Amino acid sequence: MNSEKAKSNFYKLKKYGLHQSAHNLLYERAEYSQLDLNRKKLNQELTETTEFEQPWLIDNEK
């Protein structure tokens, strides 16, 4: 993994409207934690939602 691939993944998630997943990529994924990313700047490009939406995938295997 490198910074360019990470940014590509971020923008792909953003393009599909998966802003929470893009945020998680920046701040919660261990494999991205050591990369040189301007996390604050990238995070400001995301839109926060005030409405709860149903997840697109529900894990019912637990």
Domain count, the chain: 1
Whether 55 shows a pLDDT value over 90: the answer reads no
d(CA 32, CA 30): 5
pLDDT for position 56: 64
**pLDDT digits over 5-52, tens only?**
999 999 999 999 899 899 999 999 999 999 999 999 999 999 887 776
**Range of the structural domain that residue 25 is part of:** 1-62
pLDDT for position 22: 93
Nearest to 10, CA basis, from 30, 1, 19: 19
Whether 62 shows a pLDDT value over 70: the answer reads no
Tokens of 9: 């993944």
